[in-house]
């Protein structure tokens, strides 16, 4: 009997793990306001989270050999995102201040678009096109909307050609936060709105700087336990809100 193929594990990258840690911590700080309204100002720091998660997706995709879309590692990656998107939807709704899907749905669609940019084969372009269509049609209920679906691909291009695409990723980070009235408030020089949009704009710059830097220390790896952390922290916050 032929043994089942084993998916190779990518080498750890300290900068990437640090990016994931900052994304996780800023996500928790952002969501704390849902259980503890007095912490509402943490929304500003929360604008780091989604761009950094998108950058982590882009880094993983950049390691794919071009043209090799249908691999076990890619299948596992998408399957885990979709599985935990489904598992997280109930606690996300219980925490419930938003009518959008949880963020893993946006990240899964963004992953498929980034595959199209990386591989540029007919199959990958069909997958990316389907994800773009879904992102466009579901823009309203998607967290961060259609711009959020584009962000992993833009960051992938920024990794390869920062001189051409870095500002595109910055613009998309800002645009993905504009479904509220933040732009109008920033135009009126409201400090909170200006700081929020500025943090979103700086997020990809921070993430790429950490990825490219030679860090003189080790970071605890963020492995597959990070998937469980997402629904787990939502359930914890639901419990905290009930206690408060």
Query: In the chain, what are the domain boundaries?
Result: 14-213+223-243
pLDDT confidence of residue 188? 94
Q: Which H or E run includes 74? A: helix 72-95
pLDDT band at 97 (very low <50, low <70, confident <90, very high): low
pLDDT confidence of residue 7? 55
Closest residue by Cα to residue 156 from 168, 143, 144: 168
pLDDT digits (tens, 9 = 90+) for 43-93: 999 999 999 999 999 999 999 999 999 999 999 999 999 999 999 999 999
pLDDT confidence of residue 96? 75
Query: Cα 165 from chain centroid?
Result: 18
Is 50 exceeded by the pLDDT of residue 32? Answer: yes
Is 80 exceeded by the pLDDT of residue 9? Answer: no
Is 60 exceeded by the pLDDT of residue 1? Answer: no
The answer to whether the CB of 151 falls within 8 A of the CB of 174 is: no
Distances (CA, A) of 62 to 67, 123, 134, 191: 12, 17, 23, 37
pLDDT digits (tens, 9 = 90+) for 133-175: 999 999 999 999 999 999 999 999 999 999 999 999 999 999 9
Tokens of 86: 């489904």
pLDDT digits (tens, 9 = 90+) for 183-230: 999 999 999 999 999 999 999 999 999 999 999 999 999 999 999 999
pLDDT confidence of residue 10? 57
Q: How far apart are CA 100 and CA 84, in angstroms?
A: 16
Distances (CA, A) of 4 to 1, 71, 75, 82, 124: 9, 13, 15, 23, 24
pLDDT confidence of residue 52? 98
Q: How far apart are CA 221 and CA 6, in angstroms?
A: 21
């Amino acid at each position: 009997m032929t043994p089942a193929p084993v998916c190779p594990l990518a080498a750890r990258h300290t900068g990437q793990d640090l990016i994931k840690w900052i994304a996780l911590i800023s996500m928790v700080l952002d969501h704390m306001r849902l259980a503890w309204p007095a912490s509402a100002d943490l929304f500003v720091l929360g604008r780091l989270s989604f761009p950094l998660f998108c950058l982590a997706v882009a880094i993983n995709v950049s390691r794919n050999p071009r043209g090799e879309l249908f691999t076990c590692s890619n299948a596992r990656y998408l399957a885990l995102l979709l599985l935990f998107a489904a598992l997280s939807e109930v606690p996300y709704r219980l925490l419930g201040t938003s009518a959008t899907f949880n963020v893993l749905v946006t990240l899964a669609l963004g992953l498929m678009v980034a595959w199209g940019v990386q591989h540029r084969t007919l199959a990958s372009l069909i997958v990316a096109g389907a994800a773009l269509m879904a992102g466009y049609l579901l823009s309203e209920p998607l967290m961060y909307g259609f711009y959020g679906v584009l962000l992993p691909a833009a960051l992938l291009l920024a990794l390869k050609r920062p001189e051409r695409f870095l500002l595109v990723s910055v613009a998309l980070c800002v645009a993905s936060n504009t479904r509220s009235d933040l732009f109008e408030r920033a135009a009126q020089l409201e400090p909170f709105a200006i700081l929020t949009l500025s943090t979103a704009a700086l997020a990809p710059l921070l993430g790429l700087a950490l990825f490219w830097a030679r860090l003189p220390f080790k970071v605890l790896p963020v492995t597959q336990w990070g998937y469980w952390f997402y629904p787990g922290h939502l359930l914890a916050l639901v419990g905290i809100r009930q206690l408060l």
